[in-house]
Amino acid sequence: MTLERHRSLALAAMPLLFVLLWSTGFIGAKFGLPFAEPFTFLGIRFVLTLIVLVPLVMLLGKAWPRGPRLWGHIAVSGCLVHGAYLGGVFYAIALGMPAGLASLLVGLQPLVTAGLAGPLLGERLTRWQWVGLVLGLVGVGLVLGGKLDPGALAFDGFGWPALGAVLVALVGISVGTLYQKRYCTGMPLLGGTVVQYLGALALLGAGALVFEQRDVSWTPTFVLTLAWLVLVLSIAAILLLMALIKRGEASRVASLFYLVPPVTALEAWWLFDEGLPPVSLAGMLVAIAGVALVVRGRR
């Protein structure tokens, strides 16, 4: 009975563990960006991830996407879901945006996806989802208002380009989610993830070649951060997600995703002394409540 109880507790903790791992991606950006430009950083991360992931797909005997058409659609979704999303987040953090705030803004993805699902996929919003959308917008207004510096017409610690970058990330993951739902049905998770990473690598590699100097300081901190992002976030988290989907727990992961921003903000406060004023903290809670209503309504 004791072994069975421990097994049940471990299974119950898996969705929360996945969300905790996901939140460290923003912290990893904060640790690694002093040593490499954002697109270069992400390009190296995806190259190393593919070096590990491709043999893993073969070793586990997982399926690959069928047909060049599906490969193309999955690659496009990867450019949006991973390339635009991570590129925008890392660029915004490199420009000074706090990791907790970046996490909150891109965490609004369920709101944007729900708003776009109507005209693009014909899905209708429930009354509570509309309430969630309004709460999310009010929360974001409070968060950004708390960081606004009226005298400088900018934000405390970062400017409008950082906000623009994180909005690119938000639109990328929102449109990418809808694109994947529309054109990538039947995509095998692990093999499809490899194709998505290839698409993201192509986009970020082009960005590094055109816009960056591609200088990297291979310090112990950068190497350890890179190892964490590759092995724990890009590999272990994906395998954990596969296990959750296999056990029918994916909906619990979706409902817990709105815990990522406060967890990230707490981690950033502890590690980097990043703080948010009371108005912004209140706005974060309001925005998270809005996301929760939208997610529960979609489920």
Give pLDDT tens digits along the chain (299 positions). 466 666 666 666 777 788 888 888 889 999 999 999 999 999 999 999 999 999 988 888 888 988 899 999 999 999 999 999 999 999 999 998 888 888 888 877 777 777 776 666 666 767 777 777 777 778 777 776 666 665 555 666 778 899 899 999 999 988 888 888 888 888 888 899 999 999 999 999 999 999 999 999 999 999 999 999 999 988 888 778 767 766 665 555 666 666 777 788 888 888 888 776 777 778 778 877 877 777 666 55
Q: Which residues contact 69 (CB under 8 A, 6 or more apart)?
A: none
Q: How far apart are CA 28 and CA 229, in angstroms?
A: 7
Rg of the chain, C-alpha, whole Å: 19
Residue 253 contacts residue 15 (beta carbons within 8 Å): yes
Burial 67-82 (b: 16+ CB within 10 A, else e): eeebbebbbbbbbbbb
| pLDDT recorded at residue 103 | 84
Tally helices (H) and strands (E) across the chain.
14, 2
| pLDDT recorded at residue 71 | 94
| pLDDT recorded at residue 156 | 67
CA torsion through residues 73, 79, 84, 85, sign: positive
Closest listed residue to residue 41, CA positions, set 200, 253, 268: 200
Count of Cβ atoms closer than 10 Å to residue 61 Cβ: 6
Q: How far apart are CA 37 and CA 34, in angstroms?
A: 8
Residue 39 contacts residue 211 (beta carbons within 8 Å): yes
